[in-house]
Amino acid sequence: MQVRRIAALLLAASATLTAAQTQAAGYTQTRYPIVLVHGLFGFDNIGPVEYFYGIPSALRSGGATVYTPQVSAANSTEVRGEQLLLEVKKIVAVTGKPKVNLIGHSHGGPTIRYVASVRPDLVASATSVAGVNKGSAVADILLGIAPPGSLSRDVITTIATGLGKLLSLLSGSATLPQNSLAAAQSLSTAGSAKFNAAHPAGLPATACGEGAYQVNGVAYFSWSGASNYTNVLDILDPALAVTGLAFGGAKNDGLVSSCSSHLGKVIRDDYAMNHADEINQSVGIVNLFEVNPVSVFRQHANRLQGMGL
């Protein structure tokens, strides 16, 4: 009798464990593939280092199909958007799925918005992570410091374009065109306003509100951080603390203001994360006192799953 009871308990425990494992395995399993799109000077991966550090594997472990296409490290939103559109078409063809879930960080935000605007039939959702949706004060200052025709602009442009080419070469995408000046202009307040006039879907009507949750069948979301210096071990934090001063005290993550990041349904705009933390950089050195960014991505995948996306 005791043996039977033990066997029954073991069987029940096994069933519970199996159910928990099944639930965990399907936690991030979205209906449509997830496409992670990098920002300025971004890449898919350079050797073992991913731009979205550890995030693709974390999503895949829960059942998601994930792609990390490479677009120009530095170029205009429209050029990057056309490159991404080509990649999305390939993904749709390969997977047999009619749509994708786009998630873009930094300049990746406007980049995914371009695709969602021109081909909404291929996009189930567009999620902006610290997206430069209304421009960045940092880009404005850089363009102001380096006026047209100046030596400083020539030097900055040459160095930045060279960096973009190097990153593309290291990540195996050396043929992609790089234009750092076009990137800076796209990310400026004036450049963003021009882009937004042509591609307004999901943008808030007010300075710091929410935008439409769904436009042309595409669900829009956003989240961002509001801290600059979050971990003394992160070599990027001191620089982000300096660039954060450009926002005059407004909430920002070091490169993008919280209000500029708003798009569609705003999940949060005040995570204790900086611009690098949001993608789990540098190599996982993030704020120990905030939810891990990998978990935020997993939670969002589960959110999309719950919506049938």
* Active site amino acids: 106, 253, 275
Partners of 128 in the beta sheet?
A: 104, 222
- 3-state secondary structure (DSSP) of residue 58: helix
8 A C-beta contact, residue 125 and residue 219:
yes
8 A C-beta contact, residue 113 and residue 197:
no
Alpha-carbon separation of residue 39 from 20, 150, 164, 183, 303 (angstroms): 36, 27, 11, 10, 23
Question: Which has the closest alpha carbon to 183: 132, 224, 147?
Answer: 132
Alpha-carbon separation of residue 229 from 243, 258, 274, 285 (angstroms): 11, 16, 7, 12
8 A C-beta contact, residue 120 and residue 274:
no
What is the rounded CA–CA span in Å between residue 20 and residue 13?
11
Biggest alpha carbon–alpha carbon distance for the chain: 90
